Amino acid sequence: MVTLVTSVLGLSAALVIVVLIRRDHLHVRYGLWWMTAAIGFALLGLFPTFFDRFSHYLGVAYPPILAVAIAIILLVIKILVMDIERSRNVIRLQRLTQRVALLEADLRETQGKSREPEDGSSHGEIDDEKS
């Protein structure tokens, strides 16, 4: 019964992930991580003896511990990838902020030059010849 429940949950999770990706609620890059986890659950539920044999082949006496160790390793890798992505985004945001500041300064400078009269007189002066 546990194998059936695990298989159904894994396949259901995979289906939900596909729907989230198709509706643009989840980016494909992140969806692949979750899809892998869902397929892993489904395979673990469908073929539990395979995992037991794999654990025995590796010399692990208690197969669930191998599953926990693999899950922890994958979670640490996932967190590392997320931190790398976050660091890239922080750098991009800083650079974009600097670019916007430079563009705003250029815009103010350009607008200031376009408002000055061509003869070099300032805005507040009144030309005596015209009055």
Using one digit for the tens of pLDDT, what is the confidence trace for 40-98? 877 877 887 888 898 999 999 998 888 889 889 988 998 998 899 999 999 999 999 99
Structural domain includes residue 32: yes
Structural domain includes residue 55: no
Q: Quick one: what percent of the chain has pLDDT higher than 90?
A: 31
- Per the listing, tokens 């995992």 go with 51
Structural domain includes residue 102: yes
Structural domain includes residue 53: no
User: Residue 82 is part of which domain span?
Assistant: 62-115
State whether 40 and 69 are in the same domain: no
pLDDT score, position 83: 95
pLDDT score, position 123: 52
pLDDT score, position 131: 42
Of 25-39, 87-101, 107-121, the poorest mean pLDDT is in 107-121
Q: What's the length of the chain?
A: 131
Structural domain includes residue 9: yes
Number of folded domains in the chain?
2
Structural domain includes residue 54: no
In the predicted structure, residue 124 carries a pLDDT above the cut 60: no
State whether 71 and 111 are in the same domain: yes
**Nearest to residue 17, comparing CAs of 4, 25, 3?**
25
Please provide residue 116's backbone torsions phi and psi, each rounded to the nearest 5 degrees: -75, 140
